[in-house]
Chain A
Amino acid sequence: MFAEIFSQEVIDETLDILINEIPYALWETFYVTILATLFAVIIGLPLGVLIVVGEKDGVLPLPKPILSFLNLLINLLRSVPFLILMILVFPITRFIIGTTVGTTASIVPLVIAAFPFVARLVETSLREVDPGIIETAQSMGASPLQIIVKVMIPESVPSLISGITIAITTILGYTAMSGIIGGGGLGKIAINYGYYRYKYLVMLIAVIILIVLVQLFQTIGTRLAKAMDKR
């Protein structure tokens, strides 16, 4: 089988496909990942904050039913496998984008799958903030909103960056899966050529590019978190 994969004919054909398709696929993967992460953070960050500050002895206690509902929502969404979630959210996707197939449409299920994950990551980061520092801010007469904006979030920035890095790499993995519902990108190439048309070399290279991308995001994220941390 390996001899077949690496025959001159296959290599030529593969090169042809790569040159024609990879740059665009790479771009698609990139923008879907970044946009999906952005929206996931826009929804997940406030949600994570609410869960921490809304506790009984938090800085802005919320009514118990609201807190329980938010926790339940997050747990429910997190327990549905992404492949199934993609199909379940078709109605929402159609409502927002107007269609359920295509690259842009794949952003909706990605965001819905990722924001609960981001909320939990934010929750973990904020819980690491020294309670003494929060008490100090209270002793200075800070309002709950000021404590969140001036103390809790700035103090956990390095940890939040690490969390968002994890979210990006996870979403990158999910974008590959969304090739199944017509989402574009490297995942689509791997599935179309590798799975449907038995062009294993193309698949292999698409996967390698994905791995390199994950490494890249992870390295940048880790460096950034370290550089920001003044502790």
Chain B
Amino acid sequence: MIEIKNLSKSFETSDGSLDALKNINITIADGEIFGIIGMSGAGKSTLVRCINMLERPTEGEVVIDGVNLLSLKEKDLREIRRNVTMIFQGFNLLMQRNCLKNICLPLELEGVNKKDAKKRALELLDLVGLSDKAKAYPSQLSGGQQQRIAIARALATNPKVLLCDEATSALDPKTTRSILSLIRDINNKLGITVIVITHQMSVIEEICDKVAILDNGEVAEIGEVAEIFRSPKSKAAKSLVYPEDNEVEVHSEFALRVVFNGAEATDTPLIAQLAIEKNIAANILSASTKSIGNKAHGVMILSFADEKSLVSAKQYLNQIDGVLSEEVKNVR
């Protein structure tokens, strides 16, 4: 179990002190895939670097399986880092070593003999599906393959925790999906706790069990992924779950966000029903919905002429199963 307690981190910069993290409290259970999401500069990388003490917190504690990392000496921390390994956005493979030797590196550092290290590295190459690339150099691989080698390298020392800092941000959507499914497999097979740092909600949606939303150095919201997708509460969470809000200019004072969460697609479109049954005219500002197996998913933003029609439209929509609507207040 990883417990982050009252953690704060400030940097001394030329123009004063900068609070990158403010009083963070997060608990991550063993075997969980935990997401940490936030905008650029929110403090995600700083937080993940505090978990393996590459960055020393200014205040608070990081406790892994009952051991307070702040109480450890540099030498013992190095020991911990073999148990809490990391992969990065830029893969960071050694360019002058071939793939096999890259995977051997953490084992060499640990003092494992060459023969055993090679044996373990070959197993891991097999695990990430790149057995044929043992002798290839990183420059001869695609980004997705390089990240697989980096994952194999991170697993070499049999860690209990894998930290992924924007591990898929440099990859295209298809490769991203294959790397994420590899991470999920590893989590299933080896029971490794995974912490995923990202700025993409799709990554969280795809593999995480729980998520913490980081906004300006603070945890804005934390909980089950499904729950946060269903009803985001904080402003930061809303703007991540409903990115449309930031894209559409809501000029109207009376706007409604309608979330479809598996509503039955009916023969008569909803907006038409609204007009026919309630005599309310709605203007569609944006819509991104898709039907999966006859169920509608997605978000729509509607605007109305006045307060009264907004209120009755909201009432009408909210009584439908799988539809949730709420007012959008001057998003801009």
Taking Cβ atoms with an 8 Å cutoff, the residues of A that contact B are 130, 132-133, 135-143, 146, 150-151, 154-155, 157-158, 228-231
Contacts and interface: CB of A to CB of B under 8 A. Distances in A.
Interface in B79-99: 79-82, 85-86, 88, 90, 92-98
B54 A135 contact: yes
Interface residues of B, number: 28
Interface of B: 52, 54, 77-82, 85-86, 88, 90, 92-98, 105-106, 108-110, 137, 139, 157, 163
Nearest to A156: B96
Q: Is the interface of A mostly helix, strand, loop or mixed?
A: helix
Nearest to A136: B92
Contact of B139 (A132, A138, A146, A230): A230
Contacts of A132: 88, 90, 92
B92 A133 contact: yes
Contacts of A142: 78, 109
A138 B105 CA distance: 12
B106 A140 contact: yes
Contacts of B80: 141
A140 B105 contact: yes
A140 B94 contact: no
Given A140-B82, A140-B106, A141-B79, A154 B92 contact: no
Contact of B78 (A130, A143, A228): A143
B108 A231 contact: no
30 contacts: A130-B92, A132-B90, A132-B92, A133-B94, A135-B88, A135-B92, A136-B88, A136-B92, A137-B105, A138-B54, A139-B86, A139-B163, A140-B82, A140-B109, A141-B78, A141-B79, A141-B106, A141-B109, A141-B110, A142-B109, A146-B109, A150-B108, A150-B109, A151-B94, A154-B94, A154-B97, A158-B96, A229-B96, A230-B137, A231-B95
A231 to B, nearest CB: 5
A230 B95 contact: yes
B134 to A, nearest CB: 14
Contacts of A130: 90, 92
A142 B108 CA distance: 10
Contacts of A151: 94
A136 B150 CA distance: 10
Contacts of A133: 92-94
B52 A139 contact: yes
Contacts of B139: 230-231
Given A132-B88, A146-B109, A150-B109, A139 B81 contact: yes
A125 to B, nearest CB: 12
Contacts of A154: 94, 96-97
